[in-house]
Homo-oligomer: A and B are copies of this chain.
């Protein structure tokens, strides 16, 4: 073993207990985290937070320092959703051929390192990203538009936990292959003894596309799973949310270099909206793995065109709610209002379509008509929107100016084809008065207007849909998932048989179902080590964070056999 490998195996030993605990958590799927989930408990304390704020301000208006091969020129178009001013940061734009070539070169010693050495270095990367989590959070806020808390917990610690989860699966999948074996069999009068050696071989260069609103959450698991299994990773960030990934790439490169491996195992490949490089990366002959998070349109193209590269996608979906019967309406409405307001519904798990039976929701001894329910939901959203400090914490900012136009379009369509229960409007963010904000639009329509609500309408746009009856409500909601794709689904019912049917319907249509949940947790919270994110059974994506399938194909097995010396 060379010096780098020996040192990296020591890193593995340092993190071995954490990985073991993470693997147990994956098998038991209770709550688990390696990190402090609230910023005030971060070991770096207030000093770390302040240092990050200073570092972030210092970065604004300056080139991002990232020495990597193949740089042609520099690009940068980011605008903060909070200040609506350009960040003024530019990044290297690389020649894809040069990046792939450098990545292949970098892989030689990495692929030859023991699996534990790679896992040790990957855990060091995780540790570094956790140390830098406040700077990462600043970068997520000012590109994706997330609120401060979500930037820390969702894009920081939870994303890192999902990364460690992927490492735990990668470790398990690699450990399933023994290093060697002795095979013995009689052939006629002789006994043949073959010594066999098995070797884990990475697929090649992985391309990781990251999205604009939640870049790190899917990226960390994909990057770490690819790296741990010996591959190199080229990160292709959305051109409006580069900084979080540029920071992550630089951290990876520094840890890799410090560990004695080539930093070119992780590189950034930037492009611009007008001159996208995505298709070239996917069709590059050296592309062996593609991880994609982003639009359904480009995701569909990736799924159809990535072969022979493996591809893992999360695109988008129409997440649904069915409210059939409740014990008390107020907690349900409050939970829905909060979740539909959370980060202005710019999460892949945000519910969009709320189905209600025409004859009303059973509630105690009476029926709540769709109109009454719709009004209550609109009021509950308005309650959040009304207090601008609360609105800022929950709704945060709108990532893309395009979302504002979509809200307008949907409001117009809602007025024509149903009614607008709640108009969307800007609210004034308490800390960032120039922030791009919109409170949720809520539209009431009859079931049947599927061309309106049957696809994802990204952003703070919700529909209250009146279905013929409770069975139709369930059918429609499950149909949305099956046809339009869905990651999550939510049902409220006091009828056990209805819940059982809902479980079957959403299991078949491939949406994760949450029943009768109210209270302080956002309904769409996805717990690392516990919630399997995306089933692969509907158009919302083909890969799950995280199961064995997410890691087991990222490496291959070669073998040597030879007669055993007597």
A519's partner among B187, B198, B561 (CB-CB below 8 A) is B187
CB distance from A169 to the nearest CB of B (A): 9
Query: Looking across the interface, which residue of chain B has its beta carbon closest to that of A177?
Result: B547
Chain A residues numbered 491-522 whose CB sits less than 8 Å from any CB in chain B: 499, 503, 506-508, 510-521
Report Cα–Cα, A517/B562, bound state, in Å: 6
Q: Which residue of B lies closest to A512 (CB)?
A: B559
- Interface presence of A431 (CB below 8 A): no
Chain B residues with CB under 8 Å of A30's CB are 181-184
Q: Is the CB of A515 within 8 A of B201?
A: no
Stretch of A58-66, A95-103, A410-418, A548-556 that contacts chain B: A548-556
A75 CB within 8 Å of chain B: no
Alpha-carbon distance between A100 and B530 when the two chains are bound, in angstroms: 34
Residue of B192, B531, B542 touching A561 (CB-CB under 8 A): B531
B559 adjacent to A549 (CB under 8 Å): no
A310's closest neighbor in chain B, by CB? B542
Closest to A302 in B: B307
Q: Is B519's CB under 8 angstroms from A192's CB?
A: yes
Per-residue B-contact encoding for A456-487, CB less than 8 Å = 1, 0 else? 00000000000000000000000000000000
- Quick check: B201 and A27 within 8 Å, CB to CB? no
Tell me whether A548 and B173 are in contact in the complex, defined as CB-CB below 8 angstroms, given that A514-B561, A520-B187 are known contacts.
yes
With most chain B CB atoms within 10 A of its CB, the pick from A172, A532, A544 is A532
B308 in contact with A307 (CB, 8 Å): no
With A and B bound together, what is the CA distance between A519 and B186 in angstroms? 11
A178's partner among B28, B177, B182, B558 (CB-CB below 8 A) is: B28
Q: Out of B173, B544, B562, which one reaches A556, CB within 8 Å?
A: B544
Does the CB pair B561–A517 fall under 8 Å? Answer: yes
Query: Which residues on B sit within 8 Å (CB–CB) of A187?
Result: 519-521
Interface pair B557/A535, CB less than 8 Å apart: yes
Please judge, given known A-B contacts A183-B530, A304-B307, A520-B192, whether A536 and B556 are in contact too, CB under 8 Å.
yes
Copies per complex of this chain? 2
Q: Which B residues are CB-close (under 8 A) to A178?
A: 27-29
Complex contact A29–B181 (CB within 8 A) = yes
Q: Does A128 contact B (CB under 8 A)?
A: no
Instruction: Please name the residue on chain B nearest to A543 by beta carbon.
Output: B553
How far, in angstroms, from A512 to B181 measured CA to CA in the complex?
15
User: In the complex, what residues of B have CB within 8 A of residue A304's CB?
Assistant: 307-308
Chain B min CB distance to A280 (Å):
18
Nearest Cβ distance between residue A23 and chain B, in whole angstroms?
A: 10
Most B CB within 10 A of own CB, among A196, A201, A518, A549? A549
Whether B552 pairs with A548 at a CB distance below 8 angstroms is yes
Per-residue contact bits, chain A 139-182, to B (CB 8 Å; 1 contact, 0 not): 00000000000000000000000000000000011001110011
Q: Which residues of B contact A194 (CB under 8 A)?
A: 517
Complex-state Cα separation, A307 to B172, whole angstroms:
27
- Inter-subunit contact B303/A516 (CB<8 Å): no
- A187 nearest CB across to chain B (Å): 4
CB distance from A539 to the nearest CB of B (A): 9
Instruction: A201 to B536: give the CA distance in the assembly, Å.
Output: 10
Is A560 on the interface with B (CB-CB < 8 A)? yes
- Let me know if A557 and B562 touch, CB within 8 A: no
Q: Could you list 8 A-B pairs, sorted by A, with CB under 8 Å?
A: A192-B519, A514-B560, A515-B560, A516-B563, A535-B556, A537-B558, A544-B556, A552-B552
User: Which residues of A are interface residues toward B (Cβ below 8 A)?
Assistant: 27-31, 172-173, 176-178, 181-185, 187-188, 190, 192, 194, 196-199, 201, 203, 303-304, 306-308, 499, 503, 506-508, 510-521, 527, 530-532, 535-537, 542, 544, 547-549, 552-553, 556-563
Besides the known contacts A548-B548, A549-B549, A552-B552, 9 further A-B residue pairs in the complex with CB atoms under 8 A apart: A27-B176, A31-B183, A173-B548, A176-B547, A188-B520, A303-B308, A304-B307, A517-B563, A549-B552
